[in-house]
Each structure stands twice: as structure tokens, then as C-alpha cells.
Amino acid sequence: GENVEQHPSTLSVQEGDSAVIKCTYSDSASNYFPWYKQELGKRPQLIIDIRSNVGEKKDQRIAVTLNKTAKHFSLHITETQPEDSAVYFCASAGSYQLTFGKGTKLSVIP
Amino acid sequence: DARVTQTPRHKVTEMGQEVTMRCQPILGHNTVFWYRQTMMQGLELLAYFRNRAPLDDSGMPKDRFSAEMPDATLATLKIQPSEPRDSAVYFCASGPGASYEQYFGPGTRLTVT
């Protein structure tokens, strides 16, 4: 089955700096790659996703890049703010079933 | 703003008791997923449905867990008998089916003593 590795497991950045979270996947048939943000005690929220026919996608301060050849994708957050502090999960899917990474706890220091 | 709803939000029960968790997917969504989240294992898929039919429940302990969709507006996850190791947050998610997007409910925090 699919295996998704996510790094780093924790990340601390100063407010205003950029944050990058990276994931690798194993199944070359995977073609959908979402990112979820989960605040403490809350539900995972879909913040951005990318499909295999696209190399990069942006939405305001967040962007995702995909390298299908290398089987890795990354989340980039620019101009980080304290409200960006949360656990971020990557996932991949080749069908309706998502396989999640273990999560990255991002702390933005004011 | 349509959202997935789940009940109860919190449940504390004693080992051996039956637990039923309910989920109302977003209206019009035809895929429904049950996940379990723990610190050690992260987010694990337990089961999922498409058009109310179970497609995969290989993530569930079959002897004690069961998942059903009695109708398009209700999905249930039952544990009988419950054990302390079942303590976790259980999330339901739904998706439109035409794409792979999934939207999560608020979760049920289960504690089995």
C-alpha cells in the first residue's frame, strides 16, 4: 500500500519568516495531494491541494509544489503569522482513500 | 457553510460497553470515511463508503467494530465491546465523490475506562 513520509515532525519559525514542510510518497499511481491544518482540539481542515497534472499551486500565503518524478511534494507558507501555528498533515491518494503523513507541528514565534 | 456533523462530541464509557458514534455528511456528498486519531498512530482510516456501499473496512478490528450507512444522511460507527485501547478521537469525513476532496467533522473524543 501507499506510504507517506513527512518531515520535519516539528518546526519553529519567527513570525514573518517562511516555513517549508516536505512529504514523499511511494505509490506512483497517486495523483491527488492535499494538505490539512489541524489546530489543537479541532478538526483537520483542507487548506490546499494539488493534482498530478500541475507542478505548483498558490493561494495567498500558501503554496504547494509537486515533483512526480521524485515522488515528493512540499507546503510553503510565507510571511508566517502566530495563527499559522498548528499541526499540518500531508496526504496522497490514487483513489478515494487518503494516506496521511504523521504530521508537522508548526510553531510561529511572535 | 455546509459542514460534517458528528455526535456525541465526547463520550466516556466503561470497558465492555457498546459505543455508537454518528455522522451526518455534507448534503450531496456520496463518499463517507471514518478515521481514528491517536498520538501514536496518527490518522488511520477505519472504513469508507461510496453511495452508502462499504468499499473498504480493512482498517477496522472486525470482531468489535462495525460501520454502516442506514441512509444517505447518516453514517454510524459502533464498538462492541469497547476496550481502553479504543480511546481516541474518531473523525468522520465526507467528499463529493467526483473528486478526492474530504471534509472532516469535529470528531468524537472517546475515553474507555
Q: Would you give per-residue pLDDT tens digits along chain B (113 residues)?
A: 789 999 999 999 999 999 999 999 999 999 999 999 998 888 999 999 999 999 888 889 889 999 999 999 999 999 999 999 999 999 999 999 777 899 999 999 999 99
pLDDT at B45: 92
Q: Do A100 and B31 touch (CB under 8 A)?
A: no
Other C-beta atoms within 10 Å of B113: how many?
10
Phi then psi for residue A30, to 5 deg, are -65, 135
Q: Do B104 and A45 touch (CB under 8 A)?
A: yes
A60: left (phi over 0), alpha (psi -120 to 50) or beta: left
Name the residue with cell 505548483: A56
Which residues in chain A are closer than 8 Å to B106, comparing Cβ atoms? Answer: 42-43
Burial class of residue B19 (count of CB atoms within 10 Å of its CB; 0-12, 13-18, 19+): buried
d(CA A30, CA A25): 8
Query: Residues 6 or more apart from A18 whose CB is under 8 A from it?
Result: A76, A77, A78, A79, A80
d(CA A16, CA A110): 9
Query: Is A109 within 8 Å of A51 (Cβ atoms)?
Result: no
pLDDT at B22: 98
Which residues in chain A are closer than 8 Å to B45, comparing Cβ atoms? Answer: 97-99
pLDDT at B1: 72
Phi then psi for residue A81, to 5 deg, are -125, 155
Query: Is A4 within 8 Å of A94 (Cβ atoms)?
Result: no
Pick from A34, A43, A89: CB nearest B105: A43
Looking at the complex, report in whole angstroms how far the Cα of residue A95 sits from the nearest Cα belonging to chain B. Answer: 7
- pLDDT band at residue A52 under the 50/70/90 scheme: confident
In Å, how far are A23, A46, B25, B36, B79 from B4, measured between CA atoms?
27, 13, 5, 16, 21
Higher pLDDT, residue B89 or A95: B89
